[in-house]
Structures are given as C-alpha cells and as structure tokens.
Structure 1
Amino acid sequence: MDRPELVELLSPEGLRLLDSLPPWTPSLDAVKAVSDLRRLGHSPALVSAVLTQSRLRAKARAKFGEFADRMLFTEPGLEQATRLSVAAIHAGRFDAAGVRHVADLGCGIGGDALAFAAVDLDVTAADIDDTTAVIASFNLAPWSGARALNAAAEDVDLTGIDGVWLDPARRTTTGGRTTRLANAADYSPSLDFGFALASDRAVGMKLGPGTDRDVIPDEAEAQWVSVDGDVVELALWFGPLARPGVKRAALVIARGAAHELTNDADSADEPVGDLGDYLYEPDGAVIRSRLIGDLARRLDARMLSEGIAYLTADAGAETPFATRFRILEHLPTDEKKLRVALREREIGVLEIKKRGIDVDPAQLRKRLQLRGESSATIVMTRQAGRHVTLLVERV
C-alpha cells in the first residue's frame, strides 16, 4: 500500500466506506465493484485501498476470526502475522510470569500486540516500516495501554519495560519481490540483539520452525508450535518465561484444543522393530522438537526405520500428536506391479505419502495411470532399511 492510498483509507470517509462494503467473496466481480464505487465519486486511490482491505479482511478471518472485520492489513503483514490462537498463548506466558509492560519489537500489523493488550498488559509496539507501524497503531487504538511506534527495534527505549517479544524480520524485499532469508545471522534485528536483551528481562522470540537448531542458546526453552497440522513457529523463551526443566516442547493446536509434549532435552528414539498393525505419522512439531521417542513410548510403539519419522505399533491408540493409520496390506514396490495392483482394486484417487524414498508423488501419480471409482492412501517408505509400499486407511 502506498502513502496516498493509506492517507485516503484512514480518512473518516475512507473508513466509513470500508465498513459499508458487503463481505468480500471469491465470486465478487471486482471490475464491477471498482466501477460502482468510482461512479459514486470516490477517488481511484480510495477505491483501490478499500477493496484491497476488504479482500484482506476476508482472508484474515482464518487467523483473527471476527476481529479481522475491524482491523487493517498489508499483504505481507497478514502473511507473517501470528494467528490469534497462538498469540493468546504468547500473551499468557507473559501474564503468568508477572510481566506488566511488553515491548513488541518488529510488531508487524500488531497480531501479538493485540493479544498482549487483551490480557491487560501495557504494550509498546514498534516496526521499522512506516506504513506497517501506522496500521499497527490503528489496530491497537481500542486499547488505552497500547501504542505503536515507527522505529527500529534497537532504537526503542526499554526503560520501565520488563518484557520483550521479538519477531525478527526473516524476509527481504528487493524489486517488489519478497524472499525468505536462509541465514539466521541476516535477520533484522539480529538474534544476538535479542539474546542480549534476555540477560536482564523476560524475553520471548518468534523464529521460523525450520531455524537451524545450532542457534538455540542452552538457556532457552525451545517450543515448536503447530496449528491444524501446519508447523507455524519456533518460540524461544528466556528468563521467567522459560519453564523449569523444559528445554524442548511440541505444542499441537488442533480443532481448538492445545496439547503439549515437553522434555529437558531431545528424546532418544525407540529401537526399530517389526511392522505392526498401525502406522503413526508424528505431527511436525513433534518431529522438529525431536520428541518422537517420547511419543513412541506413550503409544507403546517403535521406530519403523532408522532416521525416518514413522512409528508402528500392534495396537491403536488415540493421540493428538500423530495421525494414525491402519495398515491394510503390503503393495508391490515395483512401479509396474504397483500400477497393476491399484487397477485391480479400482483405485482412481490416490494419496501418496512418502518418507525416506526418492520419489515425486505428483509425477508418480501420473505414471500410475489411475482408473476406478475408489480412493486410497499409500505410504512409501523404509521398514528396517528396505523399501515398502503400504496400503493404509486413516483411523
């Protein structure tokens, strides 16, 4: 969003017009919507701004629910914003630790800051991008104890602030294209800046779930978080925010409920064993936190193969930490024989899951030339080091 669009959007006329629009739907005729608003005398900049915001609000409901209908967004800000359900957990940490004033450094459009304010914490939010800071200020306006600054994280005065939430920029924009930074040393602000703050304050830090584990300090609690099967972040907690005896945690949020595995270190894997009647695919947060061994022991399960994140067990058990499959039969690993086996079973729709096997599921699906009215799931992986193809069904 450029400055003229933002100025018009934040005018009384702009905000009234935005709130008067019908809900955005995929079937909306955008060309007709533009023409209708232009005929009413609205400027091109305002029309562009309100229609963009209407579209982003509709998209944001997946993260912010009904709150999205009173917020403003930028496209990258929405993409990078913390989901409200996860932000509420962040806020709960600070509140439980007795923190009263949080600095949200690199606040983006203010998703985490909103959650902090909602539990009656004072909030000083800051973002180095001026447009983003203005939008965060608008989103925080309903809370008297919250403010947003246009400032670099390193320049915010932390006097009187006893907690810091840091979300370093992990992307860079060049020529209108945004790319993810591969090296944590290139984040802005730097990780060293955040780690230094943790020497005398309660500090939480949001990183990408694939962050190199070598950068995690020994004193931090590392918590990987997944929402409905998607691993969304690695949170590092320092000082009073870190739980005693917890260094690794997998927080799994699914269907509105939260479940957690914790340990004081990476857990040792269970030995590889025979294939049982059930196959378990651990949640990505469990895999990232290296707590597969703990999950296996909970399920009375064993590793399917060395270094592969599948578990197998003789009996099925409910767990929020893995997807459970019942193994129906072994299928051929040879591609031609597999094609014949699938045709014999009249399988026309096939889900292909794979680990430890060099195969492109999309290309394989084409080569299998599927025909039939039935659907199925196969797992292509290794069992005790050898290739296997398993016909399974979700339990």
Structure 2
Amino acid sequence: MGYAFTSSDVAFLRSSAGVAALAEVDALPFTDSSRLHDVGVARKLLGASFAPVVETVLLRRRAVSKLDCSAGWLFTDDALQQATASAVARHRAARFVGRDVHDVTCSIGADLFALSAVAARCVGSDLDPVRLAMARNNVPGQLVVQADALRPVSRAGAVTADPARRDSSGRRKWHPQDFVPPLDELSSIYSGVDLAVKCAPGIDFAVAPWADEIELVSLDGAVREACLWTRGLATPGVSRRATVMHGSSSWTITDGEPDDCLVAPPGQWIIDPDGAVVRAGLVRHYAARHGLWQLDERIAYLSGDVAPAGIRAFRVLEHGHYTEKSLKSLLSTRGVGRLEILVRGLDIDPNTLRKRLKLSGPDEATVVLTRIGSKPVMVLCQAERT
C-alpha cells in the first residue's frame, strides 16, 4: 500500500524546504543492502518529515521506467501502479488532438499530461484531494478540480476515464460494477459524448456492449491496457484493434482486415503473436496479413515458411507427438541444457516440467508444447530475432 500521503505532506513536498529535502535524500543510494541505513539517515536529517520524502524519492525512481517526466513529480504508491505508461498515454491522447477533453479520473495527472500536449483545452477532475494536489504539481497550468466522475462539471465533447480497480486494501477488483466509478454508470452518464475508458487488458469485453471499438495495447512485449472507445473517438468499421508498441515504433491491426488463413502442420517457423493480438481476437487477421497459418483453429500459435520482420520467432528444428519421455530423449540427443518452454492448449506447468527433464548439455533451445486437434504436439525450435 505504501505511505499514506496527506494534503499537508504534498504542501511540504512542493515547498522550497521540501524540494531541498528531496534533493538531499535523493543523494542516498537506497540499495537493498543500504536501505535500512539510508532510512535512518533520512530520519535524522528530517525528523517527522522523513517518511513522505523517502517515499517520494523511491517512487520517483520506480517511475523512471514508466513515465518520461517523473523527476519532479509527486505520487502515491497505488496511483503510480495505475498510472498509464507515457508511451501508451501519448498513443491514446492522439485521438483527442484539437478537442476539448475532460479527464474525469485524473488522479496524479499521467494521462492529463499527455492530453495537455495535443488537446485544444483539457480539464482534470478527481475526488481525492491528495491526488489532485499532486496533479497540480505534475501538470502545472492545467485546470484541475475536485468532482465526482458521475456528476459532469464540464461541457467537453470528449471524456476520458480510468476507473480504479483496487479497493482500499489494495486488492484487485475483477467485476466492472465494482470499479470506481462503475463501468456501466460511466457509459450511461456519458452516452451523449465521445468517451474513452481505460481498463485492464483481462476484462471480459462482453460487459461493455456499448463500446464501439475495443483496443488492446502492448508495450515492449507486455499487454498494458484495453481502451473502450465510443462514438466519434472510435474508428468507423472497426470493433477490435491491437496496437503493438516497441520503443519508438508501433503497428496496429484491426478486425477490418481479412482473416482468411489455413490450418496446417508446422512449417519452417513458429510464431507466437503479440499478446495484444491474441487478447483482441485478431490471430487470424495477423496470420492473413503475413501469409501464415494456424496449427489448430483454437490455438494462437501460427506457422509459416517466412517469419514476419522485426519479431522474435522460432525456427523449427523437429516436431512430433509429445510425451514427456520422448521430449526428454530428444533434448538429451541434441545436448540441450537450457530450455525455454512455451505452452498453449495443454495442462503443463513449464517450471515443473523443466525440473523433471533433468537438462544437461551445452546448447539451448525452445520447445513449443501444444495440441493439434486432440493430439499433444512438441515443436523443438531455435529462437531468433527476424
């Protein structure tokens, strides 16, 4: 849960004394071995003010890998966890270029910051006074007000929301009616405006029949979010989209593209599509775009004789019927001592299996364990960057 910041803490951290204290404590290393000592030093330096200062220094260091402009920002632990990564926030903000936008759950301002760079005008609101004070620090010059997301206080024609998905104890909420604010109430209140709602990528999309377009976004191999778009923010003719971002590059695929692909045995390559593609239900569309085929129509692994450029793909060495005994024999024959195990469609725990295989040898490989129909199949591969 982290330290429970108060409005007084935020006021101190924004003061000249607080800024000086943050700089002084930031000079401490806070490594695993020095943390207890460094906390003690901070306590001696700052007395009762040490806790919010230490927490802020540590949160800023964590934020560096997620947010571009975190050096002078203020956070709470849970707000940082839910904050949108800067690259994803910029991607989402691009649909609001030139619009008047209201971020009705602005929290500490991560999305508001991205919106402020492209929107004609934007306003942020939240119920939490501490997070609002942090947002005013993080996004200076933008209007930030205290308001309930379910009681509109602006006339903006575009609204964005990121409902809280954890309770007061930090436990994750899985049911959209338990989100704060609830998903259906958001969609009802803002049915007359263009709405974007950020959700966890694991959400059951059937609970949002009002969404005109559902976009899954991955960043550097991890699926980060689902965004539910309505009305003028949605793309005509598209109901599902996957956007894949790696560093400064990105690509997208939608259900508006062809999805005709064959089902056939393994070819020269196995391709494991990005998680955003899989979660968006666009595996066949991805296969059709790249001339690939499915191993089984219900399994997300694809195969082909030419791998798409710029991905981590798996060159096929051997494949056949899977049993643990046959796999162990194959790995022993090939001298595989380091093995990556990928599984879909079979009830196999890779870590447990790896221990039982008793690997030894100088080489490394990847094995794909899946099924074709009801038949368990193993495909031994060499991972390569195409």
Using structure 1 for the length normalisation, give the TM-score: 0.89
2-structure distance, mates of 1:317, 1:39: 58
* 1:221 partnered with 2:209: no
Task: Find the counterpart in structure 2 of residue 380 from structure 1.
Answer: 369
Task: Find the counterpart in structure 1 of residue 47 from structure 2.
Answer: 43
Change beyond 3 A, Cα 1:12–1:364: same
2-structure distance, mates of 1:30, 1:226: 33
Task: Find the counterpart in structure 2 of residue 12 from structure 1.
Answer: 16
1-structure distance, mates of 2:248, 2:33: 30
1-structure distance, mates of 2:90, 2:149: 22
Give % identity: 34
* 1:348 partnered with 2:337: yes
* 1:118 partnered with 2:117: yes
Question: Contact between 2:147 and 2:153, CA under 8 Å: does it hold in 1?
Answer: no
Task: Find the counterpart in structure 2 of residue 246 from structure 1.
Answer: 238
1-structure distance, mates of 2:231, 2:28: 44
Task: Find the counterpart in structure 2 of residue 166 from structure 1.
Answer: 161
Q: How many residues align?
A: 379
Deviation at 1:23, TM superposition (A): 7.2
SS in 2 for 1:305: coil
SS in 2 for 1:205: strand
Give the aligned residue type for 1:356.
G
Which sits farther off after the overlay, 125-134 or 345-354?
125-134
Match 1:147 to one of 139, 143, 148: 143
Question: Contact between 1:354 and 1:379, CA under 8 Å: does it hold in 2?
Answer: yes
Within 5 Å, give how 1:1-395 maps onto structure 2: 1-3=4-6, 5-20=9-24, 21-22=26-27, 26=31, 29-40=34-45, 42-44=46-48, 46-65=49-68, 67-95=69-97, 98-100=98-100, 102-119=101-118, 121-141=120-140, 144=141, 146-158=142-154, 160-173=155-168, 177-217=169-209, 220-264=212-256, 268=259, 270-318=261-309, 323-330=312-319, 333-395=322-384
Deviation at 1:348, TM superposition (A): 2.2
Give the aligned residue type for 1:371.
S
SS in 1 for 2:150: helix
Give the aligned residue type for 2:128.
D
Deviation at 1:11, TM superposition (A): 3.4
Deviation at 1:360, TM superposition (A): 0.6
Q: Which runs of 5+ in 1 are unaligned?
A: none
Change beyond 3 A, Cα 1:354–1:99: same
Deviations 1:202-236 (A, max 9, x none): 21111111111212335611111011111111111
Change beyond 3 A, Cα 1:230–1:195: same
SS in 2 for 1:77: helix
Question: Contact between 2:271 and 2:307, CA under 8 Å: does it hold in 1?
Answer: no
Change beyond 3 A, Cα 1:200–1:24: farther
Deviations 1:126-179 (A, max 9, x none): 2222322222222122xx2x1323332123412x32221011122212xxx312
Deviation at 1:5, TM superposition (A): 4.1
2-structure distance, mates of 1:316, 1:69: 41
Deviations 1:185-206 (A, max 9, x none): 2222122232234432221111
Deviations 1:34-66 (A, max 9, x none): 3333443x123x21211211111111111113x
Give the aligned residue type for 1:215.
V
SS in 1 for 2:318: strand
RMSD of aligned residue pairs (Cα, Å): 2.2
Deviation at 1:359, TM superposition (A): 0.6
